[in-house]
Amino acid sequence: MRRPTIVFVEPPRVFWFVMGEYLPPPSALLILAAYVERELPDADIHIVDCQADRLDWTGLERRIQSLDPTMVLSSGFTTNAYSCARTADITKKINPDITTVVGGVHFSFTPDESLRNFPEIDYAVRGEGERTLVDLITTLHNQDKPDHVQGISYRHGDIVVNTPPRPLIEDLDTLPLPANHLVEHNLSRYHFTMMTGRHTQYMILEGARGCDHRCTFCTQWNHWGGRWRTKSPKRIADEIEYLNETYGGVFLWLTDDNMNITRRGAPLHEELRHRRCKDDIMLFFQARTDDIATHPDLIAKLRDIGTYWILTGVETDVEDTLTEFKKDESPAAAYDAMRVMKENDVFSQAMFVIGSRKDTHESIEHLRQFSHDIEPDIAIYTALTPFPGTAYYETAKANGWIHDTNYTNYDMAHAIMPTETLSRKEVQEELWQCYRSFYGSITKNIAGVLSKNKLKRTVHRHMAGQFVLEKFRRLI
Ligand code: B12
Ligand code: SF4
């Protein structure tokens, strides 16, 4: 029997214009491929990264043809779900016998809808992928029935079968290191211009999965079973050291939904502070404002081991909306968090969200002022987006608030819903006004472009040079 030939595809994507020009490593695929490689040493595994390999759809088709796979897989979050379906579609046109598999947060929450809308997709893997994928490949290779494979969805005649969910991996330290060797020829190409320039090598690593909070607009806690699981600080430090010393990785982005500084700040510092790589790396992670605000000591420690940029979800200054979002944070914590980052020379990225039901022109104007007052180094404004899998999606769907069902637009830059008093167009216009007020001021831009802080200079140059404001204006 033919040995499994597994081709993971990062299809051609439309990238997020807000953060400018970048080329990210296909992180989920690297993590999955490593696991399959370890568990199924006889499998022939490839990763095709269309961005890095500069392949358009025709190029991808030729590449799949030449690899002659038994299975083609891709990973999607909501905004790029259609590109996964298209990958499956061209695969089936090449050879209908090739098995097509999708996974990731979007397909985990829309298996019925996706399998009905896209007959070219054979299987959707729901939730954690590693063990399910190995089980599925083995089952199909042995020509067994897939009904005993936990965590998958597939069509059987006219119905969609959803097998029971698979229990989560208890010890994340048992996962292998991501399969960077499968994209080694591309590693030097991965970069994030606005964050670290065109020539600093950008790598992604995973320290934890999930979150123990329950925000209504967020898919992540739900996707990971409402739990926060972490690798041990030693394992995270080993992984950082490995990426830096083996591959020259400098800009290291932690995928963790919640850094959980309270629990990991001190032990991670302890693990990394004696390692040489700490002076070379630029760590980026996401953390909650309350976690930052209440731990200035730990932020200082994390700065000492290379943390240079933290993204934090401030969301809004309206207490009632924070409560409705179940965010469990206060606007006061946002002030403190920005101050703590400034005092420790950490670049602060604050995320704001507009377009909740009670938002009005006045409340959004108030939010704009607040976003200036708390003084983040960079403010990113988003439109509240009803991602499938969130509590908010269920409410919005039941109430008919979702006015745009084209998932390509679920990128938080497009207004998908009106508010009680603002039309969708008005929300879109308000979003543009937010960027205009933060980046459009001539005085502020001059100060930004002339700032002593190199990162600030880059961000302001990016916002002006890449026509971000103009692109937002065109969405209205
Ligand atoms: C790094 C990152 C990015 C990087 C690029 C990532 C990439 N490689 O393409 C950048 C910065 C460019 C980016 C951009 C955006 N991102 Co982003 N990003 C992330 C982040 C932090 C980590 C992704 C990751 O590697 N995770 C680790 C992997 C292992 O987890 P995973 O993908 O869930 O995979 C597991 C399972 O889902 C499953 N699985 C996944 N895929 C597959 C495929 C198969 C075949 C199988 C079998 C299994 C499987 O197995 C995996 C292992 O168990 C996530 C948050 C997160 N923690 O995941 C947000 C996240 C994916 N991003 C998000 C969003 C909204 C965006 C943007 C639209 C805008 C924004 N505000 O950031 C843009 C869109 C860009 C675009 N057009 O594609 C949302 C998506 C929400 C949703 N439900 O759609 C997330 C979840 C953040 C959040 N908290 O809401 N992002
Ligand atoms: S938004 Fe952040 S804090 Fe809230 S559930 Fe999601 S990851 Fe956790």
The full set of domains in the chain, from first to last, is: 5-162 (3.40.50.280), 190-474 (3.80.30.20)
- Pocket probe for ligand 1: among 50, 217, 255, 351, the residue whose CB has the most ligand atoms within 8 Å is 255
pLDDT > 70? residue 436 = yes
Looking at residue 470, what is its pLDDT? Answer: 83
pLDDT > 70? residue 452 = no
Contact 302, 313 (CB under 8 A): no
Q: Which ligand minimizes its atom distance to the CA of 412?
A: 1
Looking at residue 407, what is its pLDDT? Answer: 98
Does 105 contact ligand 1 (Cβ within 6 A)? yes
Beta bridge partners of 156: 159
What pTM was estimated for this model as a whole?
A: 0.96
Does 287 contact ligand 2 (Cβ within 6 A)? no
Q: What is the mean pLDDT of residues 398-426?
A: 98
Please give the Cα distance from 97 to 64 (Å, whole number).
13
Please give the Cα distance from 284 to 306 (Å, whole number).
9
pLDDT band per the 50, 70, 90 thresholds, residue 257: very high
| Amino acid (one-letter) located at 476 | I
Dihedral (Cα; 384, 388, 394, 397), 10-degree rounding = 80
Which of 88, 84, 107 lies closest to 98 in space, CA to CA?
88
Q: What is the mean pLDDT of residues 215-239?
A: 97
Pairing of strands 347-354, 378-383: parallel
Q: What is 339-393 written as a DSSP string?
A: HHHHHTT-EEEEEEEE--TT--HHHHHHHHHHHHHT--SEEEEEE----TTSHHH
**Ligand 1 atom at shortest distance from the alpha carbon of 128:** 53
Please give the Cα distance from 210 to 78 (Å, whole number).
18
- Ligand 2 centre from 272 Cα, in Å? 26
Extract the tokens encoding 218: 């967020």
Q: What is the mean pLDDT of residues 360-385?
A: 96
Does 77 contact ligand 1 (Cβ within 6 A)? yes
pLDDT band per the 50, 70, 90 thresholds, residue 464: low
Does 386 contact ligand 1 (Cβ within 6 A)? no
pLDDT > 80? residue 134 = yes
Q: Is 46 helix (H, G, I), strand (E, B) or coil?
A: strand
**DSSP E strand boundaries for 16-86:** 22-23, 44-49, 71-75
User: What is the tens place of the pLDDT at every residue in 144-167?
Assistant: 999 999 999 999 999 999 999 999
Q: How are strands ordered across the β-sheet holding 307-315?
A: 202-205, 251-254, 282-287, 307-315, 347-354, 378-383
Contact 452, 467 (CB under 8 A): no
pLDDT > 90? residue 260 = yes
Extract the tokens encoding 474: 């065109």
Looking at residue 110, what is its pLDDT? Answer: 98
Between 13-27, 170-184, 198-212, the lowest mean confidence (pLDDT) is in 13-27
Contact 352, 379 (CB under 8 A): yes
Between 15-29, 73-87, 297-311, 321-335, the lowest mean confidence (pLDDT) is in 15-29
User: What is the tens place of the pLDDT at every residue in 273-299?
Assistant: 999 999 999 999 999 999 999 999 999
**DSSP E strand boundaries for 263-321:** 282-287, 307-315
pLDDT > 70? residue 466 = no
| Amino acid (one-letter) located at 307 | T
Share of residues in the chain with pLDDT > 70 (%): 97
Q: Which ligand minimizes its atom distance to the CA of 314?
A: 2
- Pocket probe for ligand 1: among 8, 14, 16, the residue whose CB has the most ligand atoms within 8 Å is 16
pLDDT > 80? residue 454 = no
Contact 184, 25 (CB under 8 A): no
Contact 13, 80 (CB under 8 A): yes
**Cβ neighbours, 10 Å, residue 246:** 12
Beta bridge partners of 176: none
**Ligand 1 atom at shortest distance from the alpha carbon of 78:** 84
Beta bridge partners of 159: 156
Does 74 contact ligand 2 (Cβ within 6 A)? no
**Ligand 1 atom at shortest distance from the alpha carbon of 388:** 83
Atom 64 in ligand 1: residue holding the nearest Cα: 411
Contact 337, 293 (CB under 8 A): yes
Beta bridge partners of 197: 192
The chain-wide mean pLDDT, for the chain, equals 95
Does 230 contact ligand 1 (Cβ within 6 A)? no
